[in-house]
Structure 1
Amino acid sequence: MRTIDLFLIEGSYRAADNGVVVELFGKTRDGTALVARYYGFRPYFVLLEPAADVLDRLRADPEVVDIQPTPVWLGGRERSGARITIRSPWKVPEYRDRLRLPGDEPNVLACDIPFVHRFLYDKHVGLTLTLDVEDEPDSIRSLYALENVVRVVSEEGQDIRPAEAFRPPLRTLSFDIENAIRERTIFTICGVAEGGGRERRTFRFGDRDEKKILERFVEFVLEDDPDVITGYNIAGYDIPLLQERALVHGLELRIGRDRTTPRDMGERLWRVTGRVIADAWWWAHRELRPKQETLQFVARMLLADSKLDVDRRNISAEWEKDPDRVMEYCEHDADLALRILQRLRSIDRGADLATVAHLPLEEGLNGRTSLFIDALLIPRADAEHVGVPPTHRLRREAAIEGGYVHTIRPGIYRWVVVLDFKSMYPSIIISQNICFTTLSDRGTNVSPTGARFLSADVRPGLIPGILRELLADRDRFRALSRNAPSTETRQYYDGLQNAVKVLMNSFYGVLASSFYRFTNKSIGAAITSFAREQITSIIRALEADGHEVVYSDTDSVFIRAPEPTFEGAKAFGEAIAARFTKENVAFEFQSVYESFFSHGAKKRYVGRQVWPREELVVRGYETRRSDSFEYQSQALMEVFDLVLKGDTDGLLRRSRELVLAVRQKQVLPAQLVIARSVRAEEEYNEGTRAALPFLRVFKQLQSEGYDVIPGMKVAWIVTNSHVSPQEIEPWIDGRPFTKEPDWEYYAERVAQTLARVTEVFDWDARALLQGTHQQRLGHSAASTPDRSDQAPATLDTPIAEIAGPKKRRTSTRSLSEWD
């Protein structure tokens, strides 16, 4: 027997010894790949207040191994229950459905927890664990595509246990496929494998016999033995294509470490036992939110590199002409995908989440938020005998009222300070002891909505306890990052504290959702009501002291500093933070804006931040939206720069020039590309599908052989907006665009966008298009009363006080002169 530490990549199970064996695939500290087999752990579920005849039938059932009474806390009180242990995890759904009683309250509990997760929860282990092991015999080793197959020794007083965190070197294989568009026949599979402490390898498999290509690919995967498999959109295109073509030839793609084939888990997720599928497209989509999602666009944006010049639409002809060139192209695509995954630090980020949530790497890379919350919450619920209901979806109800958003008056403001609550929702949950275990009519913590929660001295809530620990972990990781001896160590602790932040902020989301097992709308509404009360009380106090609150959104407050200097603003922000910070509630001074602008719409503003770092901050406008086109965003940024400088004359002149440039066709077509994500066709109304430009582009690209899938963005240019539906042309980065854009359509869109700013100075979209300023109807010079006794507008005068009858007149001077 020997003791090893294991970094858990993926977990699985299989039938064995009239029961089941848990398989733990991972790597040791020295990078050795192995599978550790754990015998004797059985699946179970809990019955709430079971009838005697039900228990009698279960005792007579040969599948049932054990029945033990257990207390269950559910619905605000402790009740009787029975823990039912059976032989086979795959039979739990059958028992759940058979034993379920009608009604809103679940009577079958803890019945939909993945078996491997249940094992990890009960053993209190996660990403890294310590095992006492013995080698398995050859008959067992032959089941796996691994040399190292061990049995976990679990005797009385000796069992699996947590290990100190470590990150072994992981091997990643990236691949790409080129195939005939209509026939779907694979021409070549190419790729690269690197990492894991071994040399980099490339491969190119091309043959007239498609079956041989598939066989060679499977052989390479098993021989190279990667921990992670990637590529660009492999979950949506390449893996399904491999499965499809293997079926044609009667092959099975046994690339799992247990020699099993890939399994489609739905929603772009594939599982390969013992390995992790990490789609580079999905990570680019999630982390970058690029305006276009083709490999070409993302590679240029992130890597300053691009695909090679091969015509994908005519790939069959390209293959016949020069197969070596096509294989070079294919291998290069695989290399780009690998570099994208590395640049985004996707594997490290997945490991960070897995570390904090105590889950395998596979879940850290591909898991949902509710899965992470389960991993933190269910073990705590089990320890306190709190019933764990199955995941369910509530019927559609009115949405929970969200955070408070303070009305912002249009205009430009100088020297604005921003403060916000540190982890506002988690702090409220902790301070008010908010949890599904503390919701009670007897509670003394009363929310503005009327929901009541027991105080922590009566019954400490599960969720507040978890959040306290996460807050402490975050502070600890932050301190370790500050004192880190190397960049690599600092990145490690920064990743962990960011993972903690993500999980802390996720609790409110799942509690207020309609699909989580512990969902409760009254809890979600209580949290936001406490938040609104907290933020509005601060706003009232500030305004009572004569301070101007410019804007507020959920957990942040924007206040104009009384002393219009950087030093005055900074001192003011620090004083406000100190004044409103209380025990368990930190009101933090975040930033100083030298100038700040909004046209008066909620959640839309732009500011020139000068502290803690200098940058232009834009929220809500088209520069932040992925479906805006590049020229639109660039034009708006130019205008923002001018308005924040107070250059009204330059602002209006430049806005007109930017619109005119589109009309005069001085803009490159690449700057006019519109992009949008596409859902599955059946999710759109059948009567309107033909009119949806993104859906038409999606279908055209599919017909041309491009590997687009639902959830991916497609791009196009409008060529004629005067017909219905609009005439459009797909945009493929790197492919020549031969059509003529509808210049007038784009000019109007740019004018409408810029008018969000210029309307504050009485220039609307029509004025920008026509190039002349039109006085508003009924506001001629003769009909406008003389208000010469009023001061002209200043740099900080909101538009509500500038234009219109009974309003202050607009000065004829530029904003730069007004101060």
Structure 2
Amino acid sequence: MATNQVIATDVEAPIQIRGYVLSRHGYDMAGSLCLGYWLWTAEGAIYWEVPEQEVICFLPAASAAEAQQALVDQEGWRLQPLPLTDFSQQPVLGLYCRSLTGFYRCREKLQAAHIPLMEEDVRPQERFLMERGIRAGIEVRGSWRRNADGSLCLISQHARKADVQPELRLLSLDIETTMDARHIYSIALQMADRSVVLMQREETPRPVNVDPGLQIEWFDSSRAMLEAMQDYFQRWDPDAIIGWSVVGFDLKVLARACEQERIPLRWGRGMQEVHLRESRTTNHYFVDWPGRVVLDGIDTLRGATWQFESFALNEVARELLGREKLIEDPDQRGEEITRLFRHDPWALAAYNLEDCRLVSDIFDHAKLMPYLIARADLTGLSLDRVGGSAAAFDYLYLPRLHRKGYVAPVYASGDATVDSPGGFVMNSRPGLYDHVLVLDFKSLYPSIIRTFLIDPYALVEGLSGAHPDSERVDGFNQASFWRQEPILPALVAECWQARDQAKRDGNIPLATAIKIIMNAFYGVLGSPLCRFFDRRLSGSITLRGHQILQDSQAWFQRQGYEVIYGDTDSLFVHLHGHHSEEQACARGRELAAAINDWWRDRLLTEFNLASHLEIQFEVHYRRFLMPTIRGSQEGSKKRYAGLVSKGSEHKLVFKGLESVRSDWTPFARRIQRELYERVFLNQPYRNWLRQQVDDLLGGRCDAELVYRKRLRRPLDAYQKNVPPHVQAARKMREHRRQQGLPERYERGSSVEYVLTLHGPEALGLTTAPLDYELYIERQLKPVVDSILTFVNDGYDKSLAPQADLFYDLDKTQD
């Protein structure tokens, strides 16, 4: 295994290394399991090998004879009694296998014999770290070994966790191809202050107006270009590869091209080979890149809870950076890239490299690397594991569970027979209100776990019959939790304290990472796809949340306040009468403090529990609208709008309404924002609204009449119900086929379309005038009536020609 820098020359000399885990590997060597880890260090990347390990999983001790019979023709395994039990309090055996290959064969044999296995999916390279409490930072004591190729690797079985903050080197990668992605025009690489574009074509003279820093290397064959890229990977030696759809497009296309040229993917450190695989269930691609991590910008932003109307690179760059791609129009991009390749390759290189720079700048602007590093330090997950809440739970929970004398249950074997509803949503009281306070329970579900001691281990002990009632806390769905040292509440407490400290330190990425992980704990317990799924656990969280919100509502009503809405962890309290901003906010803080005291006293008296529930005063809405369900008098849920005022400044907040929904047109969203602001501020709106209709009918709002909706399925999968965006996409597909152009839409693509007199048509392929009357009926009237009905007005009243004969509102409105 080659290293980036030779940092030791005395082979066999003992050494101590502090590093950060980049990639983790398990493989067989000479019939024995070896674990391998690439570590970032301040002096350069090194490879650490842990030889002669065993793969382990667990099975019931009662199945020993059956297991031995099932494995009679296998070698390299042993069953060992352990001081551990399963969740049924029955003893278990450890199945130890000398090699991965042998383990896979044994696992297949045992599963075929219907012998239940526990923790059989935990990878040995993960188990080695998690059982030692190592998450990402690490300290290794060992010695160097020189391999046959002359490279060095660190050999050791001794490691412990360490606080290491890596300074990772990022390489941004982007490729340009033909429209069918069968031929690669160019490959752009950008890292810190260096960049290059590799292009397969004859060299052309540098134009005078080209950036002097733009470097192009020209190649007469695809093979030469791909080999040069591989050489750059080794010479520049990045720690991470970043890009936009970098795995699902760029790397997939590059790997296919290398396969056609019979070039091994030796892109990893030490010239190790990279492996791409496709998920059979999701069609997503994953990459195993020794010594480096691959980070997709879209997945990373989503994992860090960023929200955009579209995650297209151009849209995200425009919103975050105020910049755009050099070729913007998606309808013309493919043809323009081909034209540039043939006639202006320097412009194509500039476009290719700018995409790399946009990705790098987005990572920097959104602080994605500090977020990922903080997340890895917290959970033990590798940097490129963007999702993985269940895996993070396992990483943190399993070692603690083993130390309590238990192994995890058979996958998703918990009680699924009882009810476990979702979050509580109160029936709303529709209306237009003055002065509404929102009080929000801080991290409600984690605080319930912490307060009421909800925990898989505590549930097993609580239901065991081994402990008196005084040592148990009753949950819901016949759950009972042992009070003594539960695991999950302690984990939540650690996360909570770390998050508070991160906030005090101004470390927003770390605070965000901790919040995401804490909120995922409930999901892990409530998902039938997770190891610790059990509705006695999830129900004890959600049903307790229902109780807390309902009892809190009753408390507010006893104080003389009306609660007009409640949702999962928030209560909306109406203050009657007139209040200044300062008075309303002061009252909100007083109410929060009073109800927190009430909960503290109640939980101590009734349950002998310390309360970790904390309700906070969140915001004061000077004006607030709780709408009705469209076409009904019933109040809506998860949909509202409010006006926040500070001095002369005003801010509109929308939740679930058209102005924050991407399936409504920009026109409808703008109308809603401006109309609501006028009504909230008691400003005239009728003449303004008439002008908007005139502009619409006069064609002056056409640019705002574009719908955008994502395809959830392949186009041909829509059969019985064919929504407008699918109709538009099919028309575009047929047009492109007639032009000999490749498919443009696939599952996950966003379709931009308009409503015409010939029906929905994709943007760029409109054959008929826009259907303005349909836009008025579907887009304008619903948003107008959603608020005007509460001021005894509406679209028809405001815009009817004879309105002034019957309504005197214009005297005050305009």
Aligned AA (1:304): G
Matched, 1:467 2:492: yes
Q: How does 1:220-235 map to 2 (within 5 A)?
A: 220-235=232-247
Q: CA deviation at 1:59?
A: 8.2
Q: How does 1:154-169 map to 2 (within 5 A)?
A: 154=157, 159-164=158-163, 166-169=164-167
The aligned residue for residue 631 of structure 2 is: none
Which of 323, 327, 339 matches 1:305? 323
Change in 2 beyond 3 A, CA 1:84/1:102:
closer
Matched, 1:577 2:602: no
The aligned residue for residue 663 of structure 1 is: 697
CA distance in structure 2 between the partners assigned to 1:697 and 1:331 by the alignment: 34
Residues 7 and 26, structure 1, Cα contact 8 Å, conserved in 2: yes
CA distance in structure 2 between the partners assigned to 1:281 and 1:499 by the alignment: 17
- Percent identity, please: 22
Which of 218, 227, 231 matches 1:215? 227
CA distance in structure 2 between the partners assigned to 1:13 and 1:698 by the alignment: 48
Matched, 1:546 2:560: yes
Q: CA deviation at 1:760?
A: 2.5
Change in 2 beyond 3 A, CA 1:684/1:523:
farther
Q: Secondary structure at the match of 2:350?
A: helix
The aligned residue for residue 213 of structure 2 is: none
Aligned AA (1:225): D
Residues 135 and 161, structure 2, Cα contact 8 Å, conserved in 1: yes
CA distance in structure 2 between the partners assigned to 1:698 and 1:127 by the alignment: 48
Q: CA deviation at 1:815?
A: 8.7
CA RMSD of aligned residues (A): 3.4
The aligned residue for residue 523 of structure 1 is: 537
Aligned AA (2:493): R
Q: Which stretch shifts more, 700-709 or 204-213? A: 700-709
Which of 625, 638, 642 matches 1:603? 638
Q: Secondary structure at the match of 1:125?
A: coil
Matched, 1:453 2:480: yes
Q: 1:41-71 CA distances to partner (integer Å, 9 max, x unpaired)?
A: 3210011134342354488666434432124
Q: 1:512-564 CA distances to partner (integer Å, 9 max, x unpaired)?
A: 12211111123222211111111111111221232121221111112123562
Q: How does 1:182-261 map to 2 (within 5 A)?
A: 182=180, 184-194=182-192, 199-207=193-201, 208-258=220-270, 259-261=272-274
Residues 126 and 162, structure 1, Cα contact 8 Å, conserved in 2: yes
Aligned AA (1:466): L
The aligned residue for residue 513 of structure 1 is: 527
The aligned residue for residue 84 of structure 1 is: 95
The aligned residue for residue 354 of structure 1 is: 376
CA distance in structure 1 between the partners assigned to 2:568 and 2:299 by the alignment: 30
Q: CA deviation at 1:610?
A: 4.2
Q: Secondary structure at the match of 2:90?
A: strand
Q: How does 1:733-752 map to 2 (within 5 A)?
A: 740-748=769-777, 749-752=779-782
The aligned residue for residue 681 of structure 1 is: 714
Change in 2 beyond 3 A, CA 1:225/1:395:
farther
Change in 2 beyond 3 A, CA 1:522/1:661:
farther
Matched, 1:280 2:297: yes
Q: TM-score, normalised by structure 2?
A: 0.83
Unpaired segments ≥5 residues, structure 1: 143-148, 482-489, 776-780, 782-809
Residues 414 and 534, structure 2, Cα contact 8 Å, conserved in 1: no
Matched, 1:477 2:497: no
Aligned AA (2:223): K
The aligned residue for residue 130 of structure 2 is: 121
CA distance in structure 1 between the partners assigned to 2:46 and 2:706 by the alignment: 49
The aligned residue for residue 754 of structure 2 is: 718
Q: How does 1:752-767 map to 2 (within 5 A)?
A: 752-764=782-794
Q: TM-score, normalised by structure 1?
A: 0.82
Aligned AA (1:608): L
The aligned residue for residue 618 of structure 2 is: 590
Residues 9 and 362, structure 1, Cα contact 8 Å, conserved in 2: no
Q: Which stretch shifts more, 286-295 or 516-525? A: 286-295
CA distance in structure 2 between the partners assigned to 1:499 and 1:520 by the alignment: 25
Q: Which stretch shifts more, 756-765 or 216-225? A: 756-765
Aligned AA (1:134): S
CA distance in structure 1 between the partners assigned to 2:716 and 2:388 by the alignment: 22
Residues 22 and 292, structure 2, Cα contact 8 Å, conserved in 1: yes
Q: CA deviation at 1:707?
A: 8.1
Q: Secondary structure at the match of 2:394?
A: helix
Q: Secondary structure at the match of 1:139?
A: coil
Residues 287 and 294, structure 2, Cα contact 8 Å, conserved in 1: yes
CA distance in structure 2 between the partners assigned to 1:708 and 1:399 by the alignment: 41
Q: How does 1:372-387 map to 2 (within 5 A)?
A: 372-387=392-407
Q: 1:351-380 CA distances to partner (integer Å, 9 max, x unpaired)?
A: 1111111233233xx242212212111222
Residues 429 and 564, structure 2, Cα contact 8 Å, conserved in 1: yes
Change in 2 beyond 3 A, CA 1:554/1:172:
same
The aligned residue for residue 806 of structure 1 is: none
CA distance in structure 1 between the partners assigned to 2:180 and 2:664 by the alignment: 33
Q: Secondary structure at the match of 2:96?
A: strand
Residues 139 and 161, structure 2, Cα contact 8 Å, conserved in 1: yes
Change in 2 beyond 3 A, CA 1:278/1:390:
farther
Aligned AA (1:119): F
Aligned AA (1:161): R
Aligned AA (2:483): A
Count of paired positions: 738
CA distance in structure 1 between the partners assigned to 2:399 and 2:306 by the alignment: 34
Residues 629 and 672, structure 1, Cα contact 8 Å, conserved in 2: yes
Q: How does 1:604-619 map to 2 (within 5 A)?
A: 604-610=639-645, 615-619=651-655
CA distance in structure 2 between the partners assigned to 1:396 and 1:770 by the alignment: 57
Q: Secondary structure at the match of 2:269?
A: coil
The aligned residue for residue 795 of structure 1 is: none
Residues 676 and 694, structure 1, Cα contact 8 Å, conserved in 2: no
Q: CA deviation at 1:773?
A: 5.5
Q: Which stretch shifts more, 594-603 or 108-117? A: 594-603
Q: CA deviation at 1:393?
A: 9.1
Change in 2 beyond 3 A, CA 1:140/1:83:
farther
CA distance in structure 2 between the partners assigned to 1:556 and 1:337 by the alignment: 37
Residues 451 and 526, structure 1, Cα contact 8 Å, conserved in 2: no
Q: Which stretch shifts more, 393-402 or 174-183? A: 393-402
Which of 150, 156, 168 matches 1:153? 156
The aligned residue for residue 729 of structure 1 is: 762
Residues 432 and 453, structure 1, Cα contact 8 Å, conserved in 2: no
The aligned residue for residue 804 of structure 1 is: none
Q: Which stretch shifts more, 305-314 or 43-52? A: 305-314
Aligned AA (1:609): V
The aligned residue for residue 204 of structure 2 is: none
Q: CA deviation at 1:383?
A: 1.7
Q: CA deviation at 1:569?
A: 1.6
Q: Which stretch shifts more, 278-287 or 315-324? A: 278-287
Q: Secondary structure at the match of 1:150?
A: strand
Q: How does 1:790-805 map to 2 (within 5 A)?
A: none
Q: 1:654-685 CA distances to partner (integer Å, 9 max, x unpaired)?
A: 3443344222211142x233222333428944
CA distance in structure 2 between the partners assigned to 1:611 and 1:269 by the alignment: 48
The aligned residue for residue 4 of structure 1 is: 17
Q: CA deviation at 1:475?
A: 2.7
Q: CA deviation at 1:771?
A: 6.1
Residues 48 and 72, structure 1, Cα contact 8 Å, conserved in 2: no
CA distance in structure 1 between the partners assigned to 2:499 and 2:308 by the alignment: 30
Matched, 1:48 2:60: yes
Q: CA deviation at 1:127?
A: 0.8
Change in 2 beyond 3 A, CA 1:281/1:554:
closer
CA distance in structure 2 between the partners assigned to 1:694 and 1:510 by the alignment: 39
Residues 473 and 480, structure 2, Cα contact 8 Å, conserved in 1: yes
Q: CA deviation at 1:342?
A: 2.1
Aligned AA (1:425): Y
Which of 657, 663, 683 matches 1:621? 657
Residues 172 and 357, structure 2, Cα contact 8 Å, conserved in 1: yes
